[in-house]
Structure 1
Amino acid sequence: MAKYLISFPSAAMQVPEEEMQDVSDDSHAVIEQAKAAGVYVFGGGIDEAVPPVRVSGDGTVAPGGYPWAPTLDGGFLVLEVPGREDAIAWAARVAKSCRCAQELRVFMFDPMS
């Protein structure tokens, strides 16, 4: 079993305001399906109202993320599934519910995680 990240940036979600409740309901239904299937690990969206900070090893806190990196926002879902085909199928369900394409990435295997 491998862990997969299914995600989208906020700008990808071009949904009219009057459809947002349906999107929310549909995406929550997919999460419930993933939980029922026993593949759900974690999901959520970045709270864009809270600005990021960078924390150094000595505890120093600096405002903002890495200045050279793209903005990290949007929604994320981590699933643990048997293989890539299963992950693609789940990503398609998420894409349909969120009304936008999803990025799919696999986490490297780490025996300690």
Structure 2
Amino acid sequence: MTKFLISFPGEAMVFPEEDFESVAKAAHAVIDDAKAAGVYVFAGGINEDIDPVLVAGDGTITEGTYPGHKVPNGGYTVLELPSREAAFEWAAKIAVACRCPQEVRQFQYDPAS
């Protein structure tokens, strides 16, 4: 089984404010389905009200992120799945629930994880 990151930037979710509750309910239902299917690893959204920081090996803290790198935001789901095709199927479910396309990325194999 391989872990996949399914994600979207916060600005991709565009819907009327009055639809927020139904979108949240739909998104939580997909996560519940992933848990029931035994493929769920993690899901959550980046708190965009808290700025990122870089922490160096010596403990130095710098406001912001890597120079030239876009600040990550939006929603992230990690699922452990048997194939890329399965990841595309789950991404489509999340896309419907969140009302925006999803990016699918595959984690490298790490025997220690």
Corresponding residue of 1:90: 90
- Percent identity reads 56
2:35 counterpart letter in structure 1: K
Distance (whole Å) between structure 2 residues aligned to residue 71 and residue 102 of structure 1:
18
State the 1:10 CA deviation: 0.6
Residues 61-80 of structure 1: matches in 2 within 5 Å?
Answer: 61-80=61-80
Distance (whole Å) between structure 2 residues aligned to residue 81 and residue 66 of structure 1:
31
State the 1:67 CA deviation: 2.6
Moved over 6 A (4+): none
2:17 counterpart letter in structure 1: E
Corresponding residue of 1:22: 22
State the 1:109 CA deviation: 0.4
1:30 counterpart letter in structure 2: V
Q: CA RMSD in A?
A: 0.6
State the 1:27 CA deviation: 0.2
2:34 counterpart letter in structure 1: A
TM-score (normalised: structure 1): 0.98
Distance (whole Å) between structure 1 residues aligned to residue 51 and residue 17 of structure 2:
24
2:37 counterpart letter in structure 1: A
Aligned to 2:86, what secondary structure does the other structure show?
helix
Residues 1-113 of structure 1: matches in 2 within 5 Å?
Answer: 1-113=1-113
> Which runs of no fewer than 5 residues in structure 2 stay unpaired?
none
Distance (whole Å) between structure 2 residues aligned to residue 105 and residue 23 of structure 1:
23
TM-score (normalised: structure 2): 0.98
Aligned to 2:109, what secondary structure does the other structure show?
coil
Query: Is the 2:52–2:71 contact (alpha carbons within 8 Å) kept by the matching residues of 1?
Result: no
Distance (whole Å) between structure 2 residues aligned to residue 24 and residue 67 of structure 1:
33
